[in-house]
Structure 1
Amino acid sequence: MLERTIVKYIPVQAVQAIVGFGAIAVFSRLLTPEEYGRYALILAAMALLNIVTFLWLDAAVARFHARAERFGSIPHHLKTAYRLYAVAAVLAGGLGAGVIALSPLDANYKAAAGFALVHMLARGALQIGLETYRAGGEVRRYSINEIAALLGGFGLGAVLVLVTELGAAGVFAGMAAALLVVTLADLPAMLSRARGGRGKPRRTRLYAGYGAGVSASVIFEHLLSVGDRFLIAAFLGAGAVGVYAAGYGLGDRLIDILFVWLSVAIWPMTIRALEREGEAAAREVARRAAAIMAAVTLPAAVGLILVAEPLTTLMIGGAMRAEAALILPWIAGAALLRGMMTYYFHEAFTLKRRPGLMAALMAAAALLNLLLNLVLIPRFGIYGAAAATVIAYAAALLSCALVSRSIFPLPLPWLEWAKAGFATAAMAGFVWLLPDLQPALADLLMKAGAGASVYAALALALNLAGCRDGLGLLAAKRVPG
């Protein structure tokens, strides 16, 4: 069942990849390095505001859905969620609008920030539905809404940048418009599920207490991920932020999409197993998850490192291309470390509802990253920021893995991880021996295709993460009688 659920989420994650890489390819060409840097800075700032405003609520909706379903209290669960959303949206919207209006930013910055604020508020309402669908296993509803918001926002943003002089503001205007349409279309169905529910004070306190710890943790994790961009802007200017963000996006985006794809299927099942069958059942799901994560993400990260030059040549505008290619390998490694930390070891704290401890670990990692950036950026520029990211994530992963053992010991399938490492090393050695081709597209296709073929053959031979068994079961089901 786990593998089937993972497969069902492939379409939405494929769109995530198309939009994620498409945004880099399109906007790094349509926007100047300074405008792209502005876009990256506003995106990072609004993501931080979203974490403070709504992520705590999203986490509570996801974590307590299975319990509400078990006790038949979904209307009360959703009524509480929407009341909390309304309060948070009014406060954040008013405060955000006031700050933008009174800030010393120029008109273009203010317009971009204003559209980004509208996008964030609409996303907060939609996310309650998305978390509900995901927690309840309603993959089709989840995918339709997410795909519509992603493709609509990307398409409208690109059109507005092309036909207007809005620059970075056009990107956020398109994203906001598309998300408003999707949210307004989905909201009546979700509100009908909350009909008859009551927002009880006890449930409100429970959700706020749990979500606050999760938000605190993610705030520090977000600062660990994008805080260096503000320091780069201070030391080197917005143009350097644009170069760094372009290379970071290519190195981080694919790995993050893969981890998100796996986690949206895996962790709702783990929570349901914990609530219904106990800790042993939850650990069994987690054990299979850990093997699958390594089998998918390790070769992807190494593959990105191997094709950094042809990939950046194809995906990034010429003004930012050369330096972005040097950033990408560092960020691909950091993304792998972050993914295992966030989407595997953090779940121990989520399952046992100990987000405060997780937040403390992330605060220490963010502080380490800040100190490293203050030392390395003035000396090594954006390459110092990339190195600081790798070191900080390695320390954060190690601390989370060690501390989580005393909270909810997650399985460590060393044999499966070793098999994934062996297959990845063999793939890397084979690709390394291949000659470079021109143009860049031919080089990328040859190396990616050869690497994928070698890895797939070894994965089947080693039965990595049970892939050979899964294919055998699938084939057996297709044989009549």
Structure 2
Amino acid sequence: MHALFQSCARPRPCTHGAQTTTGRAMLNRHLLAYLPVYAAQAVVGFGSVIVFTRLLTPDEYGRYMLLLAGAALIGTAVFTWLDAAVARHHARCEARGRMPGHLFTAWRIYGVLALVSVLLAGAVIALIPMDPALRTACAFALAYTVIRSGVTLAMETRRAARQAGRFSALETFTLAAGFGLGVVFAHAGLGAAGPFAGMALAGLIVLLIEAPIHLSRARRDRADAPRAIAYFAYGGPVAFSLIFEHLLSVGDRFLIAAFMGEAAVGAYSAGYALADRSLSIIFLWLGMTTGPLLVAALEHEGREAARAVARRTGALMGLLGFPAALGLILVAEPAAHWLIGAEIAGEAAGIIPFIALSGLMNGIMTFYFHEAYVLGRRPRAMAAVMTAAAGLNLALNLVLIPLMGLTGAALATVISYGAALSVCVIHGRSVFPLPIPSGDWLRAGAAALVMGAAILALPDLGSAPADLFARIAVGAIVYAIAALALDAAGCRSQLAAPILLRLTGARA
């Protein structure tokens, strides 16, 4: 494995000014290209909470969220190591003319894993005694997991090739069609199986479009077996780490189900989804866009080029993440009572502030500080950190859920993410020293505090939708003014000024 990445450590001569300008321009272009995907994620994420908490009973919604968490864990354990390896090796294989062999190895492995998963998991679903509705939901969840993993493999290849337009179009379709079909199936009476049936069908359409294209370019070569071993050597620790990341974020649902029942899982998951998805969309947009750029910069231009891209990424995460987290905390009540079904809205509202804080820490950790372990080729160290964090979360949940209910689960999440983030910040610098844009983060934090004061000063308008929209509008306007005044993340000098120059130039 180390031989595959040894060129990453070789410094390359470069001109830092030109390098920084070029990297910033490329980053801005890719952020715009990927924006439709994450706009679709926002619509689908909120839409899923709004619609499914109303179409499904609290027990059905809780069952759906439990199965979704289980599907994510299984998909991560079985398939994600391959996605990680494909993303990390693409630039090298492309540069060396080995793309046909790379594609053959990746898709051959996926085919084997998909077949084994369907046979083994299908047998378990068929043989274990369970309620017919649960069996149907499990079957559709399995189909969704296998199909979605194939789509992810194709999309990772597109993303690693920096084909942002095609990635954006296909992923947006997958999200929108999956949600729309899921609503149709849920409304038709499939219950918890409905959303999975919709997502599986939408994914199958995209897989039937993409897979033949990739397979037509694939060619077996003599490096197939060694390449597969190398891919697992790199991707295995990454997947192991991600398993515990998932356990850290969704493991508490299984304990809540054991202690409090499926309806409590539904309430907790609705509040968690509303807060976490609001933030994860921002961090996914930034992190998933800049990940390939960081690897490409390191491979082709050296460490300083990668650090320049990372610094800009970190500054943008603070600029967007800080106000989003604080805003969620301050609008938790009206947001929950308007967006979530009435039966579970009250309980969901109580956990939103905790999840907003943990979501901010998770986003910065996963999509910024974890990049140190990717760039420094130390996925095992990242896995060790996340394993310890998941263990801490499990222990805290076992103590706090019986004492404090859903609030205890949310508090355990905050403590666990805080501990994991602290370790990643400190230890990650010994692996690959990512810059910490402290000045930009301080300015963004100050602007967010000004926004928070303005939101708190607003009177209660009585109606949840009116109160929510008023607070969002005032908060957005005040934050924009404060951020521009403080030039947080260079938003005035690097974003607003060029736009004004273009507008004035066009008028002239």
TM-score range, shorter chain: over 0.9
Matches of 2:41 and 2:419, distance apart in 1: 29
Matches within 5 A, 1:110-121: 110-121=135-146
Aligned to 2:431: 407
Matches of 2:385 and 2:43, distance apart in 1: 33
The two structures, once aligned, show a CA RMSD in angstroms of 1.2
Aligned to 2:418: 394
Q: Which of 81, 103, 111 in structure 2 is aligned with 1:56?
A: 81
- Decide whether the 8 Å contact of 1:77 with 1:197 is kept in 2: no
Aligned to 1:294: 318
- Decide whether the 8 Å contact of 2:314 with 2:437 is kept in 1: yes
- Decide whether the 8 Å contact of 1:334 with 1:393 is kept in 2: yes
Q: Which of 152, 169, 178 in structure 2 is aligned with 1:144?
A: 169
Residue 90 of structure 1 and its aligned partner are, at CA, apart by 1.4
Q: Which of 446, 455, 468 in structure 2 is aligned with 1:431?
A: 455
1:367-425 Cα deviation digits (max 9, x unpaired): 10000000000111111000000000000100111110110011011111100110011
Structure 1, unaligned runs of 5 or more = none
Aligned to 1:383: 407
Q: Which of 196, 205, 215 in structure 2 is aligned with 1:172?
A: 196
Matches of 1:78 and 1:112, distance apart in 2: 33
- Decide whether the 8 Å contact of 2:316 with 2:489 is kept in 1: yes
Change (3 A) 1:424 1:54: same
Aligned to 1:263: 287
Matches within 5 A, 1:162-241: 162-163=187-188, 165-195=189-219, 200-241=224-265
Residue 477 of structure 1 and its aligned partner are, at CA, apart by 4.0
Matches of 2:97 and 2:499, distance apart in 1: 35
Residue 94 of structure 1 and its aligned partner are, at CA, apart by 1.1
- Decide whether the 8 Å contact of 2:151 with 2:207 is kept in 1: yes
Aligned to 2:154: 129
- Decide whether the 8 Å contact of 2:105 with 2:220 is kept in 1: no
Aligned to 1:247: 271
Q: Which of 29, 49, 70 in structure 2 is aligned with 1:45?
A: 70
Matches within 5 A, 1:431-470: 431-469=455-493, 470=495
- Residue 14, structure 1, aligned to residue 36, structure 2: no
Change (3 A) 1:199 1:21: farther
- Decide whether the 8 Å contact of 1:248 with 1:331 is kept in 2: yes
- Residue 154, structure 1, aligned to residue 176, structure 2: no
Aligned to 2:52: 27
- Decide whether the 8 Å contact of 1:77 with 1:199 is kept in 2: no
Residue 316 of structure 1 and its aligned partner are, at CA, apart by 0.4
Q: TM-score, normalised by structure 2?
A: 0.93
Aligned to 2:335: 311
Q: TM-score, normalised by structure 1?
A: 0.98
- Decide whether the 8 Å contact of 2:33 with 2:168 is kept in 1: no
Matches of 1:306 and 1:166, distance apart in 2: 36
What amino acid sits opposite 1:28 in the alignment?
Answer: T
- Decide whether the 8 Å contact of 2:310 with 2:434 is kept in 1: yes
Matches of 1:95 and 1:146, distance apart in 2: 29
Aligned to 2:127: 102
Aligned residues: 480
Q: Which of 92, 95, 98 in structure 2 is aligned with 1:67?
A: 92
Change (3 A) 1:197 1:467: farther
SS of residue matched to 1:255: helix
Aligned to 2:308: 284
Matches of 1:327 and 1:246, distance apart in 2: 10
Runs of 4+ in 1 over 6 A off after TM superposition: none
Matches of 1:169 and 1:103, distance apart in 2: 18
SS of residue matched to 1:9: helix
Aligned to 2:115: 90
Matches of 1:231 and 1:431, distance apart in 2: 36
Matches of 1:378 and 1:150, distance apart in 2: 37
- Decide whether the 8 Å contact of 1:349 with 1:408 is kept in 2: yes
1:161-217 Cα deviation digits (max 9, x unpaired): 112x21011121111111111110122222223246666222111111110000000
Matches of 1:294 and 1:328, distance apart in 2: 20
Residue 474 of structure 1 and its aligned partner are, at CA, apart by 3.2
Matches of 2:49 and 2:99, distance apart in 1: 40
Aligned to 1:333: 357
Matches of 1:475 and 1:105, distance apart in 2: 63
Residue 93 of structure 1 and its aligned partner are, at CA, apart by 1.4
Change (3 A) 1:196 1:217: closer
Q: Which of 397, 411, 415 in structure 2 is aligned with 1:373?
A: 397
- Decide whether the 8 Å contact of 2:62 with 2:262 is kept in 1: yes
What amino acid sits opposite 2:163 in the alignment?
Answer: E
- Decide whether the 8 Å contact of 1:220 with 1:362 is kept in 2: yes
Identity among equivalent pairs (%): 52
1:272-291 Cα deviation digits (max 9, x unpaired): 00000111110111011110
What amino acid sits opposite 1:157 in the alignment?
Answer: G
Residue 105 of structure 1 and its aligned partner are, at CA, apart by 2.2
SS of residue matched to 1:108: helix
- Residue 272, structure 1, aligned to residue 272, structure 2: no
1:43-65 Cα deviation digits (max 9, x unpaired): 00010000011110011111111
- Decide whether the 8 Å contact of 1:158 with 1:171 is kept in 2: yes
Matches of 1:413 and 1:173, distance apart in 2: 44
1:223-272 Cα deviation digits (max 9, x unpaired): 11000000000011111101100111001011001100001211111110
Aligned to 2:386: 362
Aligned to 2:16: none
- Residue 81, structure 1, aligned to residue 139, structure 2: no
- Decide whether the 8 Å contact of 2:49 with 2:273 is kept in 1: yes
Matches of 1:244 and 1:105, distance apart in 2: 24
Matches of 2:350 and 2:149, distance apart in 1: 36
What amino acid sits opposite 1:162 in the alignment?
Answer: H
Matches within 5 A, 1:346-357: 346-357=370-381
Change (3 A) 1:84 1:418: same
